[in-house]
Homo-oligomer: A and B are copies of this chain.
Amino acid sequence: MKKYCFGVDVGGTTVKLGLFTPEGEVVEKWEIPTRTENGGSAILPDVAASVTEKMKEREIAKETVIGVGVGVPGPVDDNGIVYKAVNLGWGVMNISGELEKRLGVTVRAGNDANVAALGEMWCGGGKGCKDVVLATLGTGVGGGIIVNGKVVTGSKGAGGEIGHMHIVDEEEEACGCGNHGCLEQYASATGIVRLAKRRLAASNDASVLRTSQEKNELSAKAVFDAVKDGDKVACEIAEEFGRYLGKGLAMIAAVVNPEVFVLGGGVSKAGEILCDYVSKYYDKYAFHGCKNAGFKLATLGNDAGIYGAAKLVLG
């Protein structure tokens, strides 16, 4: 009898859903809107209805569904309870309890960044490894820590909040979290733009990035495009980015000693050159017993969440 599992990634605008085989093949993926009104009370009923409909449509019997995994933007404990998910309008929500009641199958839930790491371990950049750290370099820096094939949730769901590791003592601007000198302030897309602005302001050295800045087009992509064209100032900015992130990942390695670091998020579109800048400084700062770690780019893009959510129920 063929078995299936569902992976659900609940975002602030859309809910992504995927139907998977236990071997990691995606049978079908689709989306529904996220209805955040009324404290997001319709979100889980909508998910349940969409899963039920898909089962009916494909004549999938309940007995063949191993379970439904769900990733949400907020800290989730091991019982599938989220304590706050601002983007969804949720306070405390028992995701597993609520969906199991409606679907009659096993439901597991996790934080979206952690779940994405699990997806990349299962079928993406970390495939074949069981000790994986995902660093998602987007507007902020998120992370997911996989130890022995399992997500590290942490005692209050704050495991993998690597964007808020303290990296720089002298920082005067505050991070979104209220602290100063968080990794996110240097290694996110916005962080790279900050580094670029500072570097451009520090001298009159020629750089194509000055034109980007005038056109209001200074971005992480612009920086790495300029690096590829050999722009000296852009290369210095990339070095600085690499030094902060490489140092942060070296510290993570002294804690969980992963086999591979997977770099994802918008910034990772810069390509392999990103791994070069980061691994150079990682090697400088890492403990010798951790230096063997690999650096890979994430490969699942926006689908990492549904892959990882499906993997949640496969154990």
Residues of A in contact with B (beta carbons under 8 Å apart): 75, 78, 129, 131, 143, 145, 147-148, 150, 152-162, 164-166, 177-179, 182, 247, 250-259, 285, 287-290, 292-293
Contacts and interface: CB of A to CB of B under 8 A. Distances in A.
A244 to B, nearest CB: 11
B157 A250 contact: no
A75 B289 CA distance: 9
Contact of A179 (B152, B157, B252, B287): B287
A159 B255 contact: yes
Copies of this chain in the oligomer? 2
A131 B152 CA distance: 10
A154 B178 contact: no
A77 B254 CA distance: 16
7 contacts: A152-B255, A152-B256, A154-B257, A158-B289, A160-B255, A165-B254, A166-B247
A251 B164 CA distance: 8
Given A147-B152, A165-B255, A177-B288, 6 more contacts: A131-B154, A159-B256, A160-B255, A161-B290, A165-B287, A166-B250
A106 to B, nearest CB: 19
A239 to B, nearest CB: 15
A191 to B, nearest CB: 16
Contacts of A289: 75, 156-158, 161
Contacts of A75: 289
Nearest to A253: B158
A180 to B, nearest CB: 9
Nearest to A150: B148
Nearest to A163: B254
Contacts of A292: 155-156
